[in-house]
A and B are shown apart, each in its own frame.
Chain A
Amino acid sequence: MTSSRLRGALITAVTWVLVLMFFFPVAWMVFTAFKPEHQAATSPPTFAPDLTLDRFGAVFDRDMLPYLINSFSASLGSTLLVLALAIPAAYALSIRPVTNVRDALFFFISTRFMPVAASIIPVYLLLQSVGGLDNITWLTILYVGVNLPIAVWMMRSFLAEVPREVIEAAQLDGARLGTEIFRVVLPIVLPGVAAAGLICFIFAWNEFFLANLLTAQVARPTPPFLTSFVDGRGQFLAVLSAAATVAIVPVVLAGWIAQKQLVRGLAMGAIK
């Protein structure tokens, strides 16, 4: 075997090991979800448990669907809003740059410098004063604010890769700005849009801190619902695993559907 082949095989093997290391906890969680509660935390671990769907039954007995709907509304709604705002913003920061691009970019990312915990009391009081507590629309708006800087930065880097010649050619052909954005540039950076959208969707879907403190019942999304299975005086690992397994299904599906675009958008750059 030549040394380059050997190196290739080694890289493949290391890649598989890394993939399995990342995937194993998720696989173990799914496996645990099918165990009876008393076999979920044994030492040594039980590899041949009495498989059961009881724990999933316990999850849906708690009526998980409204929590999933709330998460879906907030995640999809905020992602669409973020993309609607981030694409023009990124356009104005890369392809047709406004003045002080660096300052604008720094401003965007600086909004992520402060931990959310530091701003929760003012946010809470503001929402309270406008009747926005336990309201999915307001939670969605907050998620837009949280994810917008990331999307702007991501979209800017994708847009920066678009060959100027393509844009100039479109302009020479008489394309107006709207045509230039929606019919020339966006199709080129679609993998980037998919990547930014999925990242924002995942971040919103998994967000716990704001969801726990700003919702009570009506607008409560899935993450705080999951932790409610933690029982300080009992065994809960199997039922928690079952709830978490259900909770990751939408994100896994979204990732599966956008897989091709995502790999291009995240690994190779939007337009290569």
Chain B
Amino acid sequence: MKLTRTARRQAAPAGIAAVALALTLTACAGAGGGGNSGAAGSDGGPVELTLATVNNPQMKDMEELKSAFEEDHPDITVNFIQMEENDLRDAVTKDVATDGGQYDIVTVGSYEVPIWAQNGWLTDLSGDLESDADYDVDDLFEPVKNALTVDDSLYAVPFYGESSMLMYNKELLDEAGVTMPEHPTWQEVADIAREVNSDDVDGICLRGKPGWGEVFAPLTTVVNTFGGAWYDAEWNAQVDQPEFEEAVQFYVDLVADAGEADPVSTGFTECLNNVSQGRSAMWVDATVAAGLLEDPESSQVAGKMGYAHAPVVETEESGWLWSWNLAIPETTQNRDAAVEFVKWATSKEYHQLVGTELGWSRVPPGARNSTYEIPEYEEAAAAFAPITRDIMLAVDPEQPGVAPQSWTGIQYVTIPEFQDLGNQVSQDLADVFAGRSELGPVLDRAQDLAQDAGDAQK
């Protein structure tokens, strides 16, 4: 039915008022700030940089200290957008893949850097960094730098790096009358875990939460040291090989016998809570955890912890290698200003600034050799800094297992398909942890999935 002329006249004011109010409310671009509209810097005007980052302690510290950079560079403002790790991956992947240009600087994990660089999404930073002698690019940890290098070009710089190690509660082990060697084997660790395990205390905490970056971070290092691998050098899937199955079965059995009650819900944070409250005797996870366990404000086990290299079987080292890095998308309109900030935030001077302004224990670990030569840092992080450095320099991302591999990376396979592969297999593995599935069929399916992903690389 058509509205009559009078009815239209009568109906119009309310509708128009509502629409006008709605549009007035939303007429501005938003309340978040000036955004990306600043001049590109090419005309010498002010530049507003947008930095998308994970919300980890090192980046929170960087945001706190950014005013020092802005004082030295009065024409540059840096806006931080902090996101949860997976949200960040989604948002930044979509932005750089579609030339969105929303971000001038992004934090990218060491897994993505080579993939994104090969896609042409990141700018090559080699020239900018090597031409600046004060920056001292050779001071960056070599294994970390190698993981960020594609065809001799450096596409990102680390602001934080980590390996993995064994952390154990000395008090609990002493009570059980056992000692931990500095380079333990997995069998020794499993024996100690079963020995220490009781109704009140878990012998060990190991991640079981599904996700390629959750359970498969520690589990892939176990597979590596058991002599297994996701792929051989020709991208043939190796998940159905006995070494892979033996490693996963060992991990599942150890968690069932002496691990946490609910492995499928347990990731880094849950293990951190368990260990820091004295409810788990041991933990194999990121080296950065040591700083949190030694903080008396948040941990009941500060001063009671011992640290050892990640347990091994067939290899000499079994730690992983991960770094969060600053990279500049190709789509940025503010490259020069972005490079200035990236250099500042990953420089030796920045580490000094963190130490003097926020405390030496908060200096970003695992990025620069020189950090470990700062006396104040050595003192503040005496319990774990030396072993962290030793492990980070000892791990080999080119060949972490017993056989050569075609990618650079330890706890992941540096192909785009690995996220999906790891996520799917870890979901199936959750059923094994929960006793709903047998390992054999799960690994059979994983072999098929892995082979599909491997075929795409051939």
- Tell whether A and B belong to one assembly: yes
Residue ranges of A at the interface with B (Cβ–Cβ < 8 Å): 37-38, 41-43, 62, 65-67, 69-70, 73-74, 76-78, 80-81, 83-84, 88, 92, 96, 98, 120-121, 124-125, 128, 133-137, 140, 176-179, 181-182, 212-213, 215-220, 224, 227-236
Are B94 and A213 touching (Cβ within 8 A)?
yes
Residues of chain B within 8 A (CB-CB) of A235 are 269, 272-273, 292, 298
**Cα A66 to Cα B79 with chains together (Å):** 13
Q: List 21 A-B contacts (CB under 8 A).
A: A42-B273, A43-B273, A77-B21, A81-B22, A124-B98, A134-B30, A176-B10, A178-B7, A212-B90, A213-B91, A216-B95, A216-B102, A219-B29, A228-B81, A228-B82, A231-B57, A232-B268, A233-B57, A233-B288, A233-B289, A235-B273
Contact A136 B26 (CB under 8 A): yes
Given contacts A43-B279, A83-B18, A227-B84, contact A218 B25 (CB under 8 A): no
The answer to whether A218 and B288 touch across the interface, beta carbons within 8 angstroms, is no
Tell me the bound Cα distance from A212 to B95 in angstroms: 11
B101 to chain A, nearest CB (A): 9
Q: Which residues of A contact B10 (CB under 8 A)?
A: 176-179, 182
Interface string of B63-96 (1 = CB under 8 A from A): 0000000000000000101111101001100110
Contact A43 B277 (CB under 8 A): yes
Q: Assess the A66–B31 pair: CB atoms within 8 A.
A: yes
A sample of 6 more A-B contacts (CB under 8 A), given A73-B28, A136-B26, A234-B269, is A37-B298, A65-B31, A136-B29, A213-B94, A233-B56, A233-B268
Q: What residues on A are CB-neighbors of B21 within 8 Å? A: 77, 80
In the complex, A62→B19 CA distance in Å? 33
Confirm or deny: B399 has a beta carbon within 8 angstroms of a beta carbon on chain A.
Answer: no
The closest CB in chain B to the CB of A232 belongs to B85
Could you tell me if A128 and B1 are in contact, using CB atoms closer than 8 angstroms? no
State whether the Cβ of B276 lies closer than 8 Å to any Cβ in chain A.
Answer: yes
Which 10 A-B pairs have CB atoms at the shortest separation, nearest pair first? A178-B10, A219-B30, A177-B7, A218-B35, A69-B31, A216-B102, A84-B18, A38-B298, A228-B82, A136-B30
Q: A43-B279, A70-B31, A81-B22 are in contact. Are A181 and B11 (CB under 8 A)?
A: yes
CB A125 to nearest CB in B, in angstroms, measures 6
Question: Do A217 and B32 have beta carbons less than 8 Å apart?
Answer: yes
Query: Is residue B4 within 8 Å, beta carbon to beta carbon, of the partner chain?
Result: yes
Closest residue of chain A to B88 (Cβ to Cβ) is A228
Q: In the assembled complex, how far is the CB of residue A92 from the closest CB belonging to chain B, in whole angstroms?
A: 7
A42 to B3, CA, bound (A): 64
CB <8 Å contact, A218 and B33: yes
Q: Which residues of A contact B3 (CB under 8 A)?
A: 177-178
Contact indicator A140/B90 (Cβ below 8 Å): no
CB <8 Å contact, B35 and A217: yes
From B47-55, B138-146, B354-362, the one touching the partner chain is B47-55
Q: What CA separation (Å) do A96 and B3 show in the bound complex? A: 11
Complex Cα–Cα for A134 and B36 (A) = 10
Q: Could you say which residues of chain B place their CB within 8 Å of the CB of A220?
A: 30, 32, 81
In the complex, which residues of chain A have a beta carbon less than 8 angstroms from the beta carbon of B273?
41-43, 235
Task: Give B4-49 interface residues, CB cut-off 8 Å to A.
Answer: 4, 6-11, 14-15, 18-19, 21-23, 25-36
Which residue in A83, A136, A228, A233 is a CB contact (below 8 Å) of B28? A136
Contact between A80 and B32 (Cβ–Cβ < 8 Å)?
no
